[in-house]
Amino acid sequence: MNFGAHMSVAGGLHKAFERGAAVGCRTMQIFSKNERQWQAKPLADDDIQRFKAEQARTGIGPLIVHDSYLINLASPKDDLWEKSIAAFADELERCDQLGIPYLVTHPGAHTGSGCDAGLEREAEALNRLFADGVGGDTMVLLETTAGQGSCLGGRFEELTWLIEHVSHPERVGICVDTCHIFAAGYDIRTPEGCAAVFERLLSLVGSERIKAFHLNDSKGPLGGHLDRHAGIGEGEIGLDGFRFIVNDPRFAALPMILETPKTDDGSADIHNLTLLRSLRSGQSTDTTAKVE
């Protein structure tokens, strides 16, 4: 299984590989720039070469980038919308330069304009970027959200609508966040619940559309719309839902990324990755084992 985690790029993008290898990542998610700033210094040729050399050395992949939290492609405010489109274009181009196939994004927030208007705004922004060929073949992965406030993507039908209204659907996929779907009201605590939820999702978008997972337990209750992540088995979801997902053959080749609470020494990532591997193998859930 392609288990991994979101890793820091402090000190340079290439540094993420050393950190990922140290905790046992087989795949990895990063930010390609400071996620709290609109602009970033362009990637230098040396940066790109070091990044690709480290990926080749560690063999970690496929890689995923998560876009900036500032971006809102569903905004009704023209100035913020245009600024978001420009920032997202830069994110796509950086992925293309680094050879990263997937860019994960939250579908945005309508901030009072209404769900339909927000979805139309999001689709228009993506269509503009795709029509211009921004980012080459980089695929945009719409992340399932907790449906908090005016955030879009808390209902599977909203993601389906976006896929149906983009001009280049081959460039759009889905990243399933387990904490988010649970917080949005999809009960994945049992094998039966998981089966029903994914039957619904797959019936709407198709199995080929799901490209990645964020595996996170939830600090909040079912349907509470609280986007608060917990370690695997340490929240309201529990282990059974994760056991179902990691043993589903339809998802066996997909990158599965932790966005769980971290420790400075990496022990939390090691703990959670080891636990996921034990669920996959059907062995005991002894999380004191070392990552190979």
Residues annotated as catalytic are 36, 66, 69, 106, 143, 177, 180, 214, 227, 229, 259
Place of tokens 């492609």: 73
The Cα-based distances of 210 to 19, 100, 181 in angstroms read 27, 17, 14
Q: Among candidates 224, 153, 240, 258, which has minimal Cα distance to 188? A: 240
Omega before 62 within 30 of 0, i.e. cis:
yes
Cβ atoms within 10 A of the Cβ of 64, count? 25
Is residue 8 within 8 Å of residue 16, measured between CB atoms?
A: yes
Q: Is the dihedral of CA 219, 279, 61, 46 positive or negative?
A: positive
φ and ψ at residue 122, rounded to 5 degrees:
-60, -50
Strands 172-177 and 139-143: parallel
